[in-house]
Chains A and B, each alone.
Chain A
Amino acid sequence: MEGSSFFQRLKQGLTKSRESWVQKIAAVVQNRRWDETSIADMEESLIAADVGVKATQELLETLRKRSPGASDPAEEMSRTLQAALVDMLRRSPGPKIAPLSARPWVVIFLGVNGVGKTTTIGKLAAQYRSSGKKVLLVAADTFRAAAIEQLDAWGQRAGVDVIKHRAGADPSAVVYDGIQAAKSRGVDVLLIDTAGRLHTKVHLIEELKKIRRVISREQPDAPHETLLVLDATTGQNGLQQARVFKEATDITGIVLTKLDGTAKGGVIIGIQTELGLPVKYIGIGEEVEDLQPFDPTRFVQALFEN
């Protein structure tokens, strides 16, 4: 990823919270122990970032276990927390985006309604396309009005073909056609768009399982990636979403969208620690290049850096 713009964008959004954190940390001057009021303030900041009660407690425990040095407690509190956060985010295996080691490389995108699945696919298609890959899109959201047209528009923008049926068609059938087309056309990357579905709707989760079965039947090692798209403004329900989707479909990673607002997306910390699901991409704007690979160190750095 190209550093400067990513940093600037991220930092811009986070400046406010960073400032208040540093101020609070600076307030900690009690000698050998962290001041409990400051820890309470830190707790508030973490919860306000949607980190969640459980993960926040874990972080604060790490802090309590270590007594601060005399020199610069403010600096140290921030450093300790940063390290703890990066550690938390690293704990899950395979945060890296896998190289395209199969052909076609099949990626399926899922998530609840309105998180940005189609937009993410559009951006990713454009990125793969400009790096010289042959890309094919599958419009398996046959439910929502104009979803096919929306993906089609992205396909045209990126100069990429879209496999589609009519609205209301069986999504598994579209996916089947997509895989066949990808094979016969010698496609490098096949990106599958699915309908937004709440994780509580049993029949829709069953439909997802069926789509997966169709994929693995046609190509035994596929799908190579199953990405859950998650809106950064989502609160603690994100954890439940990830849990249910993971149970149903073996998710390999998260795409965290809409990080360009004031939401911090802290729920991913709980998702990584509790479910071992790594974030693979983040979305920080409307442009194609605003979809970026996720880097825990830089993410946390940008959160704390002055």
Chain B
Amino acid sequence: MFESLTEKLELTFKRLRGQGKITETNIDDAIRDVRLALLEADVHIKVVKNFLDSVKAKATGQEVLQSLTPDQQFLKIVRDELVELLGGEHQDLDLKTAPPVVIMLVGLQGSGKTTTLAKLARHLNKDKKRSPYLVPADVYRPAAIEQLKILGRELDLPVHDSDPEASPVALCRQALSAAQNRLCDVLLIDTAGRLHIDEELMQELTAIKDAVRPHQILFVADAMTGQDAVNQASGFDGKLGLTGIILTKLDGDARGGAALSIREMVGKPILFSGVGEKLDALEPFYPDRLASRILGMGDVLSLIDKVQQNVEEKEAAKLQKAFLKQQFTLEEFQLQLKQIKRMGSLGSLLEMVPGAKKLAAQVDTEKAESELKRVDAIINSMTLGERRNPAILNGSRRRRIAQGSGTTVTDVNRLMKQFMEMKKMMQRVSKLGVKSLFNRMPHPYS
């Protein structure tokens, strides 16, 4: 479906190869391709219209750069424009005010407010060294208070002991002074999910806002939302004046076009994205990455970021040394596998690579992960000497290793074969230099 936009554009422009300019006539088909892609990604139809108008204006008459084909250049224009609309640069959550900084999460039922609040609390605590105080103010949904209490316990962070019979406004007021007494410097308020057209409940939010004067009112939006995102966002913004957006459930395969609609309606930054059920699955939001995702171009930057975060410096240095000396041994191989594992599931990694999304669906990632475990076990069953010099692995050594790791000799043989191939590849890389390898990778517009 969406993966095909790049291919489609390529086809559309194939007929036009040899033309040095993007013109009014040759652009119409391409615009249609993009329109379809954006609509299928749930970008609101009005937003799509405006967007395409400005793309057309930008693209028409542009000289095609020497290094690019027309489809690449067009895609670049589309992507740049999309990034611009999504907010350009990444923006941090602004906490600059007298403590306690009051942050309030609002949104529809089921958008993920409570989970997101816990994730945000963790982030502020771990990464920003703040001490958050969590306030469950959803007295309507059964067990919503209990849910936040459980999550707070998991994070070892204080949660306000909200009385389900109390009014949410009174609750928040109490919580604010409780936070001050405890010297907590951030107050995180979890409000009940509600429809933007529910006057009574929207009134309640306004009352909470007046009572505790939040520094941030963040709208939690489900990335799977369709055309209605526009109504929702403007409904909440009109009543409350939102200050930012958190996009949830981006770990699914929704393209997240709703983000564009919301951003367009509210004009406030998208700050974070939720990418999993675990409490550390909250990432800073990067407009350029979502733009690529909406256009089905993969999320190379996120991947690079993940690699950078997870490869520890020392290990990386060691690997690089081995790389250069062309002494890639099983020890290094194992180190590499560990780093891969630390980055998250193979499936989620694959999804970030351009064009590999389809692959991710085909590959049985569970199986691949258990394969990784097996490889780890095999290497662990080797002596240090064997790891450093695999050439000495004869039949009887291989049998011993198989027994030790609970695998078969065939498994050991297969691993050795993979390792040798890898080593060959490494040598090639170090000869050519990493840069040339990247240059050979297909890239939409490099």
Contact = CB atoms under 8 A, between A and B. Distances in A.
Interface of A: 44, 47-50, 52-53, 112-116, 122, 143-147, 149-150, 152-154, 157, 167, 198-203, 206, 231, 233-238, 240, 258, 260-264, 266-267
A233 B347 CA distance: 27
Contacts of A113: 110, 112, 249, 277
Given A146-B150, A199-B252, A261-B197, A236 B226 contact: yes
B199 to A, nearest CB: 13
Interface stretch (B71-79, B84-92, B127-135, B227-235): B227-235
Contact of A154 (B142, B154, B365): B142
Given A48-B45, A203-B366, A237 B196 contact: no
Which 7 pairs between the two chains have the least Cβ-Cβ distance?
Answer: A235-B226, A114-B110, A153-B142, A235-B42, A146-B147, A149-B143, A263-B228
A44 B45 contact: yes
26 contacts: A52-B40, A112-B224, A113-B249, A114-B112, A115-B110, A146-B146, A150-B142, A153-B142, A198-B251, A198-B252, A202-B365, A233-B228, A233-B232, A234-B222, A235-B42, A235-B224, A235-B229, A236-B40, A238-B226, A258-B109, A261-B197, A261-B232, A262-B195, A262-B228, A262-B235, A264-B228
Contacts of B228: 50, 233, 261-264
Contact of B224 (A44, A145, A154, A237): A237
Interface in B254-290: 254-255, 257-258, 277
Given A47-B39, A114-B249, A258-B109, 14 more contacts: A48-B227, A50-B227, A52-B40, A112-B224, A143-B277, A146-B147, A149-B146, A154-B142, A199-B252, A200-B253, A235-B229, A240-B254, A261-B197, A266-B226
A264 B225 CA distance: 12
Nearest to A13: B197
Contact of B143 (A44, A153, A199, A240): A153
A51 to B, nearest CB: 9
B16 interface: no
Interface in B6-49: 36, 39-42, 44-45
A257 to B, nearest CB: 8
Contacts of B110: 113-116, 231, 258
B108 interface: yes
B108 A233 contact: yes
A163 B235 CA distance: 40
B44 A48 contact: yes
B237 to A, nearest CB: 14
A200 B224 contact: no
A237 B252 contact: yes
